[in-house]
Amino acid sequence: MDHSDFENAYRAFRQVLVSGDIPDLMPFSYEPCERVEKGNWRLFAGFGVTSDLRLAINHLNAWRVRLHEWAAWLKVLKSHEEQIALELQFHFLDHLMFFCMFQPSGFRDMLAHVATQSVHQGNLSTGKTERDVLVQDSRKGPLKRKEVEAQLESLCEHWTQAQAFIESLSTLDTDDYRRLTLNYRNRASHAIPPRFGWGEVGFLTRSIEPWTEFVAQSDGTVEIVETSLKSVVYSLGGTPPLELEYTYRANLHEHDLASRALEAYCALLDEILLALPVA
């Protein structure tokens, strides 16, 4: 490939983006930020809640843009032979997919953090609590996801819209999604992730398995029996690549779930706003 091949591919990509041939997700509106900003919160709380909400919307909309570009490149790659398509994928698409694959987990954790802060400020602003104390105040390190969400659920006990939000939040980054994507985000953070589209990784794996013995049976046969002992086992067989369109659809579904979770969070904020004292 030469310089003109990359230029032509990028022109085709831009044309697909504006052609209407791929579905375009609507950006999440910033209108809820205006409502939150007008609330009679305690000192500086409204500024913090509004800023965090705007950050969450920015995050979701950035994910939307990258997904739209992912879909466009998939269409462009189909019009090229395999080797050229791979070159274009490496150059234009891999970093978009990498970004998108981190969003389900990241958005769930971020929105839980944002909601914790806003609901806590809502409780203080409405007099539902007088204690400005959170679990993490006495911890040296960050809370785990289960701890964050358990605290959030406790803080939300005063609000009727909270249950729908918490249930919606829990649909993101589930075991099923991690299984569909071969646990990509966790592997990319802590080990070696599967590749996109082609090539296997991790051909040799090391594990600790029960020690087995051959035990003679009364009928003259031999049976393999597991013992209480453990042993190191090395096995061959790598992790397959993630198929691009299949993975795109899975990630797109996570974006839809994230949008619903953010909508539910905005409904919770509206309930808190109605309970704030009149200025």
Strand 204-216 with 222-236, pairing: antiparallel
User: Which class for 178: exposed (0-12), middle (13-18), buried (19 or more C-beta within 10 A)?
Assistant: middle
20: left (phi > 0), else alpha (psi -120 to 50), else beta? left
CB atoms within 10 A of CB 27: 12
Phi, psi dihedral angles at 103 (to 5 degrees): -75, -40
CB atoms within 10 A of CB 174: 14
pLDDT at 222 (0 to 100): 86
pTM of the model: 0.88
Instruction: List Cα–Cα distances, 57 to 32, 99, 114, in angstroms.
Output: 10, 16, 11
Q: What is the pLDDT along the chain (279 residues), one digit of tens a residue?
A: 788 889 999 999 999 998 888 888 899 999 999 999 999 999 899 999 999 999 999 999 999 999 999 999 999 999 999 999 999 999 999 999 999 999 999 999 999 999 999 999 999 999 888 889 999 999 889 999 999 999 999 999 999 999 999 999 999 999 999 999 999 999 999 988 999 998 888 888 788 888 888 888 888 888 888 888 888 888 887 889 999 999 999 999 999 999 999 999 999 999 999 999 987
Write out the E strands in the chain: 204-216, 222-236
DSSP state of 242: B
Identify the CA nearest to 49 among candidates 38, 64, 61: 38
